Structure 1
Amino acid sequence: MISVHLGLDVGGTASRWVACDVSGEAVARGSLGGATAHVFNPAERERLVGVMTQLATAANQADLQVLSLTAGLTGFGSAAGTDIRDLAAGALGVTPTSVLVLDDIVLAYAGLFRPGEGHLVSAGTGSIGVHVRESGDVVRVGGRGILIDDGGSGSWIALRALDLIYRTWDHAGTFKGVDILAHHVFEKIGGTEWHDVRKFIYAGDRGLIGTLAVAVAKAAEDGDGVALDILRAAAHELAELARALQKRAGKGPVALIGGVLRLHPIILAEISGHLAGTRILRPEVESALAAARLQTGAAGSLWQALLGSELVQP
């Protein structure tokens, strides 16, 4: 049996875990179902219980002795911290003081920077920017959900496209002028009638809505000017997140992560133009591995002290 520190990255559609030995070497990894930190919602709480149960089963099957867990969760708020720690500790058979839970974006930051070193902008289904000061204080910009903003995210791109498509229809009774964009969006939805669109948007979740950004990117690849304008606007929104961080926390490099950046080359090109003079990083982040390694080594000790954790040390 190998003694390990577990790292867990919990996402709305899927979760990933990595086990590291006490030296920080990855010895096992796997994927689990999705969940969120919204344990105030009974259905979401049940999903998270399921993820923790799956993780405990995977650890047992791999003959791993769990020393501690660091978990980054989408939708995390500190008010839910104690409840989630207790839930995870019960499933894994460890003490709650051996469990550290935090926001998934803060976890991603910790995997990329030392405190105070840079800024992180994430653009996936949603969008958010974060900077962690040397004091441990977290500066967040954006990330308030698609009903408020999430500017530049996959969901934002999708909703802007639908808004333009239907405003065109309302004024002209046709999709002329947005027909290429409408074709790709309706193809992704699986129908052209309003009831098809209404069911897709209002019976789904933000993750499903965000998938329509791929349709916008396809329209852009076909040379559609409307789609290209939407992607340029998304790039502007993401650049504004970086600018907001720089205004509040000082100059520094900006790391960009998330699937939106891979939709079309124009997005990264436009962001770079808006942030001329700023060092832009495009790192690959394996958050579960970063989480596990937060429990080992000097960098991990720094973050543990900053975050006030009481993790078991090797």
Structure 2
Amino acid sequence: MILGIDMGASSSKWALFSDGVSGGEVAASGVYASLSGHLYTPEARQHMAAGLAGIRAAVPAQPSAVVVGVTGLSTDFAPLIMEMLSSTFYLPQHALHVTDDLHLAYAAHFPAGGGTLVYAGTGSMAYHRTVSNDGTAADEVIRAGGHGFLIDDAGGAFWQGRQGLKAVLRGVDEGRGESLLASRLFGVIGSQNWPDIRAYVYGEGRAALARLAPAVYAAAVDGDPHAQDIQRRAGEELARLGGAVMERTGNSQLGLCGGSFNPLVKAAFYAQFMDRDVSFTPTVSPLLGALALA
């Protein structure tokens, strides 16, 4: 029994894979609260320990191995997470594997390595990893993006939400009537008054803006031109990341994953590669990476 855990900024997902792992049969799965590798304070470490205990309580059987992908993982804290896993799941450390969440997703899509994965969640990144013939990861990792929301992360949910709200507030400044996009975003925020919008955005940070992304997509589906433009530009930005890594590696295999790849963003993404010799890998759950890394 192999337990995979994908720790994310919005939620943490887990899946228990039964024997016969080549088929990747899921014996049980669940969702837990957000967990991250930002363990700089005692409170953060306590939150991680409580989170692992909560996941262990939900897992219906004792796993023989645990593979964890951690968002924001610092190598300094990997040994601490290993210790927490060992004490929580009663497993020796050789039965545990801790890596970052993007490596987990990459292993799910390219277990033999060599391809380029474009990820679009709250943020965005393109990632390539070389894997040796015996299945162990070599040192070479090539990436583009992933610089955080203060610098870039174009195409991700935060960026989409920010672009949508910026367009709406500029419309308010210029005295234009309420657009479909404005109606959808104000519905999520719960108000169209600036003090309430300010409290929503600056009180909750990047997660608040990321939560606006589905409303931007819904407005685009219903025909709002600003929202449609945001979806198109998101796809183009994500394609730029993938193209940059592919140019550097010379590999033509490309995969994509992450909740910000809605159908409109995907269509704009694929359109950028219509005239290029690219082989697309089907999108799968990042948790399947646990089978490749166990």
For the residue of structure 1 that corresponds to 2:266, the secondary structure is helix
* CA distance in 2: counterparts of 1:232 and 1:20, whole angstroms: 37
Structure 2 counterparts to residues 1-314 of structure 1, below 5 A: 4-24=1-21, 25-59=25-59, 62=60, 64-134=61-131, 135-170=138-173, 172=174, 174-176=175-177, 179-262=179-262, 264-265=263-264, 267-276=265-274, 277-279=276-278, 281=280, 283-292=282-291, 294-295=293-294
Structure 2 letter corresponding to 1:146: F
How far did 1:12 drift? Answer: 2.4
* CA distance in 2: counterparts of 1:54 and 1:247, whole angstroms: 43
CA spacing shift, 1:219–1:17, aligned 2, 3 Å: closer
Q: Which deviates more from structure 2 when the two are superposed, residues 39-48 or residues 74-83? A: 39-48
* CA distance in 2: counterparts of 1:274 and 1:206, whole angstroms: 28
For the residue of structure 2 that corresponds to 1:192, the secondary structure is coil
Cα deviations by residue, 1:30-51 (Å, 9 ceiling, x for unpaired): 3333211111144432322122
Please give the root-mean-square deviation of Cα atoms over the aligned residues, in Å.
Answer: 2.1
1:34–1:47 Cα contact (<8 Å) kept = no
For the residue of structure 2 that corresponds to 1:141, the secondary structure is strand
* CA distance in 2: counterparts of 1:107 and 1:271, whole angstroms: 23
* CA distance in 1: counterparts of 2:50 and 2:253, whole angstroms: 38
Structure 1 letter corresponding to 2:160: I
Structure 1 letter corresponding to 2:278: R
How far did 1:288 drift? Answer: 2.5
Superposed structure 1 runs of 4+ greater than 4 Å apart? none
How far did 1:292 drift? Answer: 4.2
Number of matched residues?
A: 284
How far did 1:204 drift? Answer: 1.5
Tell me the equivalent position of 1:298. none
* CA distance in 1: counterparts of 2:184 and 2:72, whole angstroms: 31
User: What are structure 1's unaligned runs of at least 5 residues?
Assistant: 296-314
Tell me the equivalent position of 2:134. none
* CA distance in 2: counterparts of 1:254 and 1:71, whole angstroms: 24
Structure 2 letter corresponding to 1:261: F
Cα deviations by residue, 1:68-97 (Å, 9 ceiling, x for unpaired): 211011112222211111121121122233
* CA distance in 1: counterparts of 2:252 and 2:188, whole angstroms: 39
* CA distance in 2: counterparts of 1:256 and 1:169, whole angstroms: 36
For the residue of structure 2 that corresponds to 1:260, the secondary structure is coil
Query: What TM-score do you get using the length of structure 2 for normalisation?
Result: 0.88
User: What's the % identity of the aligned pairs?
Assistant: 32
CA spacing shift, 1:52–1:255, aligned 2, 3 Å: same
* CA distance in 2: counterparts of 1:294 and 1:251, whole angstroms: 22
2:39–2:77 Cα contact (<8 Å) kept = yes
* CA distance in 1: counterparts of 2:38 and 2:169, whole angstroms: 33
User: What are structure 2's unaligned runs of at least 5 residues?
Assistant: 132-137
CA spacing shift, 1:31–1:187, aligned 2, 3 Å: closer
CA spacing shift, 1:180–1:124, aligned 2, 3 Å: same
* CA distance in 2: counterparts of 1:223 and 1:16, whole angstroms: 33
For the residue of structure 1 that corresponds to 2:78, the secondary structure is helix
* CA distance in 1: counterparts of 2:83 and 2:33, whole angstroms: 20
* CA distance in 1: counterparts of 2:217 and 2:63, whole angstroms: 43
Structure 2 letter corresponding to 1:74: T
How far did 1:106 drift? Answer: 0.8
Query: What TM-score do you get using the length of structure 1 for normalisation?
Result: 0.82
Cα deviations by residue, 1:255-306 (Å, 9 ceiling, x for unpaired): 11122222x43x22221221222435363422234314532xxxxxxxxxxx
How far did 1:29 drift? Answer: 2.9
